[in-house]
């Protein structure tokens, strides 16, 4: 990605494989930012290398699409050391991935690393539920949880949703 304007927030979402939760979070934030007229850069990655170069899970694509968001073009990639310099915020979708991120964090990384739901009052420390081994209802629950965090993130960045 390379270095970009320091005044534009650069947000990275991280889950295990980068095929369910983090691509849905990427799509949800892109859509919310576009709707609010906010300029930011958004991406998603996994801590594991299982799905590098793969598109999101078809259930994740369908869930996002049901909310008017197209994530079909997202391709899985793995967290890199450069991400700690290229992004202003790195959000883990659960505690295991937060630990994986922190284990890879370089000494001079500049990104703020935290758990996504720490943004939502009353949900601090909670994971975004992993829908991979469940059914479509789990993907919808995941989407709703992500959207709650995206609204809080936009507000934290100094913007307000309608």
Q: How far apart are CA 23 and CA 100, in angstroms?
A: 18
Residue 63 lies in a domain: yes
Answer whether residue 55 is part of any domain.
yes
Instruction: Select which of 10, 15, 20, 94 is catalytic.
Output: 15
21 in active site: yes
Confidence (pLDDT) at 159: 61
Phi, psi values for residue 134, rounded to 5°: -105, -155
CB atoms within 10 A of CB 47: 22
Among residues 21, 30, 86, 94, which one is catalytic?
21
Return all residues near 96 (Cβ < 8 A) that are at least 6 apart. Answer: 16
Q: DSSP per residue over 36-67, as a string?
A: HT---EEEEEESSSTTTTPPPPHHHHHHHHHT
Tens-place pLDDT, residues 26-65: 999 999 999 988 999 999 999 999 999 999 999 999 999 9
Quote the pTM value.
Answer: 0.93
Give the tens place of pLDDT for each residue, 113-129.
Answer: 999 999 999 999 999 99
Q: Tell me whether residue 161 is in a domain.
A: no
Residue 4 in domain: no
CATH number at residue 120: 3.40.50.2300
Which residues constitute the domain of residue 49? 10-156
3-state secondary structure of 92: strand
Q: Looking at the domain assignment, is residue 5 inside a domain?
A: no
Catalytic: which of 43, 86, 94, 130?
A: 130
- Is the CB of residue 65 less than 8 Å from the CB of residue 35? no
Q: Report how far residue 144's alpha carbon sits from residue 82's, in angstroms, rounded to the nearest whole number.
A: 30
Structural domain contains residue 3? no
pLDDT in tens, 78-124: 999 999 999 999 999 999 999 999 999 999 999 999 999 999 999 99
Note if 130 is an active site residue.
yes
Is 15 annotated as catalytic?
yes
Report the domain count for the chain: 1
Q: Is residue 162 part of a domain?
A: no
């Amino acid at each position: 990605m390379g270095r970009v304007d320091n005044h534009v927030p650069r947000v990275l979402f991280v889950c295990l494989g980068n095929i369910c939760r983090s691509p849905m979070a990427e799509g949800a934030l892109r859509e919310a930012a576009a709707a609010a007229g906010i300029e930011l850069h958004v991406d998603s990655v996994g801590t594991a290398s299982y799905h590098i170069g793969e598109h999101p899970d078809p259930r994740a694509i369908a869930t996002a699409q049901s909310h008017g968001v197209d994530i079909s073009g997202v391709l899985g990639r793995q967290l890199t050391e450069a991400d700690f310099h290229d992004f202003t915020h790195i959000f883990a979708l659960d505690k295991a991935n937060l630990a994986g991120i922190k284990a890879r964090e370089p000494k001079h990384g500049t990104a703020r690393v935290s758990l996504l739901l720490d943004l939502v009052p009353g949900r601090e420390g909670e994971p975004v539920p992993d829908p991979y081994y469940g059914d479509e209802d789990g993907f919808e629950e995941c989407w709703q949880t992500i959207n709650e965090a995206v609204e809080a993130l936009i507000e934290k960045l100094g913007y307000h949703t309608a």
